[in-house]
Amino acid sequence: MSAITHRAAVLGSPIAHSLSPVLHSAAYAELGLDDWEYGRFEVDEAGLPGFLEGLGNEWAGLSLTMPLKRAVIPLLDEISETAASVEAVNTVVFGPDGRRRGDNTDIPGMVAALRECGIEEVESAAILGAGATASSALAALSRVCTGEIVAYVRSEARAVEMKQWGERLDVEVRTAGWGEAAAAFEAPLVIATTPAGTTDELSKSVPERPGTLFDVLYEPWPTELAARWSMFGGAVVSGLDLLVHQAVLQVEQMTGRAPAPLEAMRQAGERALAAG
């Protein structure tokens, strides 16, 4: 067994549920990177500066999940335009000189997952929810949607936030109350960004000929909404598709090896979910 000379890991709180170690380790195995190791660490905002300062030269990069995606920004030397556009970093790559560069692979990961499903361009789209993932969804839609985007939200404060993100990303966003969320299903593309169980009641309103649903959840899977969508013949993109595509980009940035093994990573993720 080779000695470990390169390290990477996912940080967040909570972190025990993360599939990132499964996906990245599968990539290393497929690429023959026997001297690479990928772990997970429970780190919150208060502990992040100290964690970064304690890393040695063997560290190649980090994946970040909540609540660190915004907290890390002041600790970096530079961030990509993509990350700056939504003020969220999910990837940190360490340069040979120790410089810390932040990026956001969630946005291009969403675009790649949609393209894999055959979605290159849509005339309109709907977003269910208005949290952090919704801003990434909006940024992804700025690359594939040519017309209006409607965000269905639970409060006026969230509506204001989504409109502000729309202005920042230069996309047309209209907001509507959650009570009207069933109307989202008239759009050719619907992105559900809400927590587990939130859209269960809405699943009763899926039309007979739905378009494409991108549900960012992957556990439990399928969600009631995704199951009913599939039952009516609609195309469904899952949260695992997103997770794999964004991880592919992380592996390529951290290792310098491209293309990363998409299918091997997806299969590893599917096996891990099936095993519980």
Would you please indicate which residues are annotated as catalytic (active-site) residues?
A: 69
Where are the strands (E) in the chain, listed by range?
A: 6-12, 36-42, 59-64, 78-79, 91-94, 100-103, 125-128, 149-153, 173-177, 189-192, 212-215, 235-237
Q: How far apart are CA 67 and CA 3, in angstroms?
A: 32
Exposure string of 218-244, with b = 16+ CB inside 10 Å and e = fewer, is beebbbbbbebbeeeebbbbbbbbbbb
Q: How far apart are CA 253 and CA 256, in angstroms?
A: 5
Tokens 């919150």 sit on residue: 44
Sign of dihedral through CA atoms 179, 180, 182, 187? negative
Q: How far apart are CA 271 and CA 276, in angstroms?
A: 9
The DSSP secondary structure of 115-128, one letter per residue, reads: HHTT-S-BS-EEEE
User: What's the token pair of residue 150?
Assistant: 């409607």
Q: How far apart are CA 113 and CA 265, in angstroms?
A: 14
Tokens 């269910």 sit on residue: 128
Q: How far apart are CA 53 and CA 11, in angstroms?
A: 14
Question: What is the residue type of 154?
Answer: R
Give the three-state DSSP class for 158: helix
